[in-house]
A = this chain, B = another copy of it.
Amino acid sequence: MNLTILGCHSATPRVSAHPTSQVLEISGHIFLIDCGEGTQVQLRRSKVKFSRIKHIFISHLHGDHFYGLIGLISTFRLLGREADLHVYGPKGIKEAIVLQLKLGKSWTDYDLFFHELESVNSEVIFEDDSVVVSTIPLDHRIYTNGFLFREKPGLRKLNFEAAVKHRIDKSYFNKLKQGADVENAEGKIIPNDRVTFPPDPPKSYAFCSDTAYYPEIVPLIENVTVLYHESTFLESHHHLCLTTKHSTAKEAGVIAKKAKAGTLILGHYSGRYRDLELFRSEAKEVFDSVELAEDGKQFKF
């Protein structure tokens, strides 16, 4: 599971502060999460192959999470994209994109599917053999969802020596990986766990931005491997969280702790702070494993 932060700053794009966008590589997928203005240039900087992006998840329709989407969709067309593109985001996203394409008479040659969200309850929005994506309803000034990406358990791992020792024919190895008990050369049933190891524990990633402190999300993200939680402010500006519906670094730490997350990544910093290490210190008061998002930074889990 690889996470590339394309932008992690709030509000207005600046020369060295890009608005929210992330690339999550999980189970062979390249998922794009949020798409602030300038995302397509950040994708180029991080050398992400445009054609590998098939699914884009938009948390909410504030500009710093959304205004780069129309440009990216247009660029896909100009680059001769043929693959389908699926966009998941709040109701209204389709109208905004389609209107702009229409005004420019710039229809896409590829198939563009919109999956508009309006439920206030968590729902599964994408699922295949290897991964499942569900929404995390958040508490912001407008309708907003976080997203939970969960790997499905993989195949069991063959204990090759044990399988040979138990005289199991090679043709049964795939069945073993799938968890089945199989017959050996003497016709004896060998229990699966004697000749396989358990699969790697499935990993998961929760993206929670933008949101006020909202402990209602804890049951949805319990035991998540990595939690990205916005921390627009420090506690010294806690009063601003109430009016803007954002969180402090400490509140993000509390959510990570309650959810028993593996690691917390902070981001969506307000432009008023010069020293981002203050965010880490504050969250560390309540939660141990804290990382800071930075534009262009890669995390491997």
Contacts and interface: CB of A to CB of B under 8 A. Distances in A.
Interface of A: 11-15, 37-38, 40-41, 44-45, 60-63, 66-68, 70-71, 74-75, 78-79, 90, 92-93, 95-96, 99-100, 103-106, 141-142
Contact of A96 (B44, B93, B100): B100
- A-B pairs, 4 with minimum CB distance: A61-B103, A12-B75, A37-B71, A63-B74
A41 B39 CA distance: 13
Contact of A12 (B61, B79, B100): B79
Given A61-B104, A63-B106, 11 more contacts: A12-B71, A13-B71, A62-B106, A63-B70, A63-B71, A63-B74, A63-B104, A67-B70, A67-B71, A93-B103, A105-B142
27 contacts: A11-B75, A11-B78, A12-B40, A12-B71, A12-B78, A13-B38, A13-B40, A13-B75, A14-B44, A15-B41, A37-B37, A37-B40, A37-B68, A38-B41, A60-B104, A61-B100, A61-B104, A62-B104, A63-B70, A63-B71, A63-B74, A63-B104, A67-B71, A67-B100, A90-B103, A96-B99, A104-B142
